[in-house]
C-alpha cells in the first residue's frame, strides 16, 4: 500500500525544516516553519487570538481539527499549556505525532483521530478550545461548535480563526471547503449560548511576514508538485492562496466565552 499523502506531506515538511535549521534558527514556536498550515496565513496572528485567554502551565487546550499539529505545537511552545489536538484520520494523527516527537514536545502535545461532531472527551474537560481555519472543511461545522461548547468548562474561552467569504460574494471553489460568512458563524455561536463576543477582521494583517517562512513554503509547494500523490494537497493550497489574494476569502478571529 502506498504511503498516505498526509504522511508524505509531513515527511517533506520535516526535511525542509531540518535543512532550514542548519542554515538559520527557526522562529520561536514554529519548529516546522508553520509549513503544516494549508492557507499560509501568518502565525503572528495567533498572538492576538491568545490575548483574551489566560494561559498558564496547568491550562488544558483542545485544538479542534489540528491536522498535523502546527497550532498545537505553537500553543505549548509560546504559552506553556498542555494541548490535545484532533486529526481527521489515524494517518494524520500518526504523522503529526511523529513531527511532535521530533520537536521534543510529546509530553505536552497529544494528537488523536476524532470526529469533530462527536468528540471522545467528557463534558467540561478543557479550559480552552481553539479552532484554527478548520470549520470550512468540516462535514458538519455546527455540530463541531456544539461539541466545542460541550467539552469546554464554564468560564472557558473558545477562540476561532476562520476563513470566511464576504457577504456579497459566493464561496470560492476550493476542494473540500465550504466557507461561511462572519455573520453566520456568530449567529451559530450565539444560539449555542456563548457570550462576550470579540470579532475582528484580520485580513490586512494575515500575510506571512517572515521571508524565511515564505521561502520555505515556496520550496514545499515545489516539492509537492513533483509528487503526483500530493496533487490534491497542492490544489488546496493553491486555491486558498488565490482566494485570499483576490478577496474571495477573509481572515476573521472570533473569541467567545462559555458562561
What is the CATH classification number for the domain harbouring 107?
A: 3.40.50.150
Domain residues for the domain of 240 are: 5-257
Provide the whole-model pTM: 0.94
Give the count of domains, the chain.
1
For 3-8, what is the mean pLDDT? 86
Strand partners, 110: 84
pLDDT at 138: 96
CA 95 to CA 121: how far, in whole Å? 22
pLDDT above 80 for 1: no
Q: Which of 53, 5, 32 is nearest to 196 (CA)?
A: 53
How far apart CA 59 and CA 94 sit, in angstroms, is 24
Query: pLDDT of 16-67, one tens digit each?
Result: 999 988 888 888 889 999 999 999 999 999 998 888 766 665 689 999 999 9
Amino acid at each position: 500500500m502506498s504511503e498516505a499523502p498526509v504522511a508524505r506531506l509531513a515527511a517533506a515538511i520535516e526535511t525542509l525544516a531540518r535543512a532550514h535549521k542548519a542554515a538559520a534558527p527557526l522562529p520561536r514556536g514554529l519548529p516546522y516553519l508553520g509549513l503544516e498550515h494549508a492557507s499560509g496565513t501568518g502565525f503572528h496572528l495567533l498572538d492576538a487570538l491568545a490575548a483574551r485567554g489566560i494561559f498558564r502551565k496547568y491550562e488544558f487546550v483542545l485544538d479542534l481539527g489540528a491536522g498535523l499539529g502546527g497550532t498545537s505545537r505553537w500553543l505549548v511552545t509560546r504559552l506553556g499549556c498542555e494541548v490535545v489536538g484532533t486529526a481527521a484520520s489515524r494517518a494524520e494523527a500518526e504523522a503529526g505525532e511523529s513531527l511532535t516527537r521530533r520537536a521534543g514536545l510529546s509530553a505536552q502535545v497529544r494528537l488523536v483521530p476524532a470526529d469533530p461532531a462527536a468528540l471522545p472527551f467528557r463534558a467540561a474537560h478543557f479550559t480552552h478550545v481553539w479552532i484554527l481555519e478548520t470549520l470550512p472543511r468540516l462535514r458538519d461545522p455546527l455540530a463541531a461548535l456544539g461539541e466545542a461548547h460541550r467539552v469546554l468548562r464554564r468560564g472557558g474561552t473558545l477562540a476561532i480563526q476562520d476563513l470566511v467569504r464576504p457577504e456579497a460574494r459566493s464561496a470560492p471553489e476550493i476542494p473540500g471547503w465550504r466557507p461561511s460568512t462572519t455573520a453566520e458563524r456568530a449567529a451559530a455561536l450565539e444560539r449555542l449560548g456563548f457570550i462576550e463576543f470579540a470579532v475582528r477582521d484580520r485580513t490586512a494583517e494575515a500575510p506571512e511576514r517572515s521571508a524565511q517562512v515564505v521561502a520555505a513554503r515556496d520550496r514545499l509547494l515545489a516539492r509537492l508538485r513533483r509528487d503526483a500523490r500530493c496533487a490534491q494537497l497542492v490544489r488546496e493550497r493553491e486555491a486558498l492562496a488565490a482566494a485570499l489574494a483576490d478577496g474571495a476569502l477573509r481572515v476573521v478571529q472570533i473569541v467567545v466565552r462559555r458562561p
